[in-house]
Structure 1
Amino acid sequence: MIADKEQQFVDLVRRVKACKRCPRMADSARVLGAGCGSLSAKVMFIGEAPGRLGADASELPFHGDKSGHNFESLLEQVGLSRYDAFVTNAVLCNPKDENGNNATPSSSEVANCASFLKEQLELVDAPVVVTLGAVALRATALVNAHTLTLKDSVRRAHLWAGRQLIPAYHPGQRAMVHRSFANQLADYQFVAEVVRRGGSTSRRKPSAKVSRASQTVGAAARVLLEESGELSYFALHKLLFMAEVRHLEATSQRLTEGYYVRQKDGPYCVELHASRLAALIPGCFTRTVGKHLLVSLGQEDLLGGASHVGALGEVARRTLSEVAAKYGRLPAGKLKTAVYLTVPMRKLLRKERALRMNLFNSAVLPAP
C-alpha cells in the first residue's frame, strides 16, 4: 500500500514538474516533492504559494524566508514538527510581479492548481487540514465546496470532505499585522490539540521560546565548534549528521531532535538555517570567504561562555567529540563521500533508484 502511494506521488510530481498552465510561472520551481513531508501525515498545511526567497529557492515549503521561520517556530512551540506534517501550497509555483517580487496568485492560477491540490489531499488523506491564509482557504473550496471565511472561521475545526478543516492566518509578516504572532501561536496550539485528540502524534509539551529540537541542535553544533574550531557551514551540517548516525547505531536513539533532509550536497539540518545560527549557538561568529560561510566561537566564549551541553548528556557529547576528531578536518569532498556511505544515505539512494526520482528534501533520519 505504501509503495503504491509513493508511486502515485512520484507520478503526480512528474506531472506538476511538466505543467505549463500559468505563463508567468514558467521559470519558477515546481515546489512539490519529498520535502513536503510524510505521505502518512496526520495534518496537512496548505499555504498560498512558494516564496521567492524561500521555497522557490530551497524547494522545501515554508523554509528559508521570514514566513518559513515563523511557521517553523510556531510548529516548534506547540510541540509539532515536520515529521508530523505534509506541507504544501494552493499554487505550487512562485508567482512574481513585473519587478520580480512575490505576488498574490490570481484566481485563474489557483484554479489551475486545484486538481493537483485535490490529488494531494486524497493521496495523503490527513484527518486534519490547516489552511494558511485566505487564498489557501478559497483553494480548498474549489476541491470541495464550502462557504468558510478566514475572519469568521479562524481557530475552529469544521467538518469538510470527511476531514477537520482549520482555517488559520498566513505566517508571513504582512498577515502578522492582522493577527499577531501571539494569536497565531494560540491558533497552532488549537491545531496541535485537534491533531493529538485523534491520537496522531505523541504528546509533546510546548516550549515557551525555543523548542527541544532547536536546543539540542544548537547544543550539538556548539560542541562540534568547541572541538573543531572554525568550520564551514557545509561541514557543520555534515558532522552533525555523522554524529546522529553514529549515536543512532550505538544507542538506537537520536542524538538531537533535529529534522534532517537530503539535499544535493548531502544531509541538511532544517533547524540550523544560516539566519538562525546566532540564536541557536550563542556566541558564534560567521564570516564569508569566497562562496563559503564559516562558523566559529569567539575566544571569550570558548574560555568562559555558557555551555549548552546539558541539553545533550555525556554520551552525546562523547559521540560528537569522536566525530569531530575523525571527520572534522577532512576536505569537503571526502567528508561528503563519508556521509554518502552511511546506512541512511545508502538506503535513500537505493529508494531513489527504485522510484527513478530524486528525493531531494526528503527526511533522512527517523523521527526522534
Structure 2
Amino acid sequence: MADKEQQFVDLVRRVKACQRCPRMADSARVLGAGCGSLSAKVMFIGEAPGRLGADASELPFHGDKSGHNFESLLEQVGLSRYDAFVTNAVLCNPKDENGNNATPSHSEVANCAPFLKEQLELVGAPVVVTLGAVALRATALVTAHTLTLKDSVRKAHPWAGRQLIPAYHPGQRAMVHRSFANQLADYQFIAEAVRRGSGAVRRKPSAKLSRASEKVGAAARVLLEESGELSYFALHKLLFMAEVRHLEAASERLTEGYYVRQKDGPYCVELHASRLAALIPGCYTRTIGKHLMVSLGQEDLLGGASQVDVLSAAARRTLAEVATKYGHLPSAKLKTAIYLTAPMRELLRREKTLRMNLFNSAVLPPP
C-alpha cells in the first residue's frame, strides 16, 4: 500500500504541473487524497470538476448541486465515500468565455486520458461507474469499447478486467433526461454490483437520511444544546474531537461521518452548510462578519430528544464532555487542540513522509 500511495503522490504531482490545456491554466487540478481510497470497491468517473464544486473545494462532487445529488444518491443506496474513489475524465474545470462551466473538448479529454488510465490501474476497483457521456467516452480512450450511454445505462459490461456501469451525470441538466428517481434505481444497481463483489448484504434504497447523516445531525444537535450558538467552524471541530475521544474510549466511531483534512482542520462532509436544516431540524443560522453561526431556537432546545435517540448514552456523554472542555475556546486554540489529536498527528507525519499536503484526505478510519 505504501508503494501504491507513493505512486499516487507522483501522479498527483505530474497532474498539478500539467499545462496541456490552455483554457484550464487557472483551474485547480482536482486529483489528490480527497478522491478517496486507493483500495476502493468502486470508482466513479465524472466529466470535469464543477466551477462551484470541486474547482473550489478540490473534493470531487462536493459543494455544488451536482455534488449534493451525487452524495444523496450514494446515501440512499447505502454507499459512502469510504467505499469509493471519485474522479473526473478531465481533472480541471473547463470554463467558457463568461467563466461558466463548459463541456470539455475532445482534445482536452484526450489530454487527460493517460492520467485516467493511471488512476484506473492504481486503484484497481472491480466496479467502474461513468457519470455521463463524456466520462463514458473517456474510458474508451483507455481501453476501447463501443458503449453508448443511452443503450448501456444500468447494465454491467465486462471491460478491461472490470465491470463498467454507465450512468447519467447527477447534475440538474441531466435530470431532464433521466429523473432523480431513475438515477436512484441506477445507483441501487451499482450498489448491488459493489456488494456482490464484497459479499455485503443487500439493502433497499431509502429516501430518509443515511445512518451516517442521522448520527452526524444528532451529534451536532447535542453540541448545540450543550454549547449554545457555535460557529460553523467550531461545530465541525467539536464533532471531530468528540469522534476522537469516543474512538479512544470505546474503540468505535461515534458517528459514521466522513471527515477530511482541510486547510483549517477536519471537516465533516455530511455537515455541508446547505444541509444544516435537514440534518438539524429547527436550527438557525446567521452570519457575523465572515463567520457562519449555528444555533437552536428556544423551542428546539426541548424538542430534539427523539433525534438524539440514535446516539448511545456513552456517545452523548462524550459530546457533552467535549462541549464543556472545548466549546468555549477561541478558534485558534480549538484548532491547536484538534491538531494535537492522534489522527491529525498521524496525518501530518504522512504528509512529511510523502512531502505533500494531503488536503481532503480521510482523517478517521471507516466505521
Query: Could you state the TM-score of these two structures normalised by the residue count of structure 2?
Result: 0.98
Contact map agreement 1:70 1:171 (CA 8 A) in 2:
yes
CA distance in 1, matches of 2:74, 2:318: 29
Q: Cα–Cα, structure 1 residues 84 and 28, in superposed 2: closer, same or farther, change >3 Å?
A: same
Question: Residue 56 of structure 1 corresponds to which residue in structure 2?
Answer: 55
1:149: Cα distance to partner? 0.2
Structure 1 segment 266-305 matched on structure 2, within 5 A: 266-305=265-304
Paired residue type of 2:312: G
C-alpha RMSD of the superposition: 1.0
Question: Residue 323 of structure 1 corresponds to which residue in structure 2?
Answer: 322
Structure 1 segment 12-161 matched on structure 2, within 5 A: 12-161=11-160
CA distance in 2, matches of 1:30, 1:84: 23
Describe the superposition over 1:139-167 as per-residue Cα deviations: whole angstroms up to 9, x where unpaired: 00000000000000000000000100000
Contact map agreement 1:84 1:201 (CA 8 A) in 2:
no
CA distance in 2, matches of 1:202, 1:360: 33
Query: Could you state the TM-score of these two structures normalised by the residue count of structure 1?
Result: 0.98
Question: Residue 337 of structure 1 corresponds to which residue in structure 2?
Answer: 336
CA distance in 2, matches of 1:299, 1:68: 33
Identity of aligned residues (%): 89
CA distance in 2, matches of 1:60, 1:161: 27
CA distance in 1, matches of 2:275, 2:119: 31
CA distance in 2, matches of 1:168, 1:251: 40
CA distance in 1, matches of 2:343, 2:24: 35
1:313: Cα distance to partner? 1.8
Q: Which secondary structure state, in structure 2, belongs to the residue aligned with residue 267 of structure 1?
A: strand
Structure 1 segment 178-193 matched on structure 2, within 5 A: 178-193=177-192
Paired residue type of 2:141: L
Q: Which secondary structure state, in structure 2, belongs to the residue aligned with residue 209 of structure 1?
A: coil
Bigger shift: 310-319 or 263-272? 310-319
Contact map agreement 2:47 2:134 (CA 8 A) in 1:
yes
CA distance in 2, matches of 1:304, 1:186: 35
Q: Cα–Cα, structure 1 residues 42 and 352, in superposed 2: closer, same or farther, change >3 Å?
A: same
Number of paired residues?
367
Question: Residue 250 of structure 1 corresponds to which residue in structure 2?
Answer: 249
Contact map agreement 2:27 2:55 (CA 8 A) in 1:
yes
Bigger shift: 193-202 or 314-323? 193-202
Structure 1: where are the runs of 5+ without partners? none
1:301: Cα distance to partner? 1.2
CA distance in 1, matches of 2:128, 2:331: 41
1:207: Cα distance to partner? 3.0
Q: Cα–Cα, structure 1 residues 206 and 250, in superposed 2: closer, same or farther, change >3 Å?
A: farther
Q: Which secondary structure state, in structure 2, belongs to the residue aligned with residue 311 of structure 1?
A: coil
Describe the superposition over 1:76-122 as per-residue Cα deviations: whole angstroms up to 9, x where unpaired: 11111000000000000000011100000011100000000000000
Paired residue type of 1:130: V
Describe the superposition over 1:118-141 as per-residue Cα deviations: whole angstroms up to 9, x where unpaired: 000001011100000000000000
Contact map agreement 2:41 2:127 (CA 8 A) in 1:
yes
Paired residue type of 1:148: L
Describe the superposition over 1:191-246 as per-residue Cα deviations: whole angstroms up to 9, x where unpaired: 01111111165766643321101100000000000000000000000000000000
Describe the superposition over 1:308-336 as per-residue Cα deviations: whole angstroms up to 9, x where unpaired: 11111211111100000000000100000
1:307: Cα distance to partner? 3.9
Contact map agreement 2:231 2:294 (CA 8 A) in 1:
yes
Describe the superposition over 1:282-322 as per-residue Cα deviations: whole angstroms up to 9, x where unpaired: 00000011110000001111134564111112111111000
CA distance in 2, matches of 1:202, 1:342: 35
Describe the superposition over 1:234-275 as per-residue Cα deviations: whole angstroms up to 9, x where unpaired: 000000000000000011110001000000000000000001
Question: Residue 222 of structure 2 corresponds to which residue in structure 1?
Answer: 223
Q: Which secondary structure state, in structure 1, belongs to the residue aligned with residue 248 of structure 2?
A: helix
CA distance in 2, matches of 1:307, 1:263: 32
Q: Which secondary structure state, in structure 1, belongs to the residue aligned with residue 351 of structure 2?
A: helix
Paired residue type of 2:71: E
Q: Which secondary structure state, in structure 2, belongs to the residue aligned with residue 32 of structure 1?
A: coil
Paired residue type of 2:100: N
CA distance in 2, matches of 1:299, 1:47: 43
Describe the superposition over 1:11-67 as per-residue Cα deviations: whole angstroms up to 9, x where unpaired: 000000000000000000000000000001010000000000000000000000000
The answer to whether residue 345 in structure 2 is matched with residue 346 in structure 1 is yes
Q: Which secondary structure state, in structure 2, belongs to the residue aligned with residue 346 of structure 1?
A: helix
Contact map agreement 2:221 2:304 (CA 8 A) in 1:
no
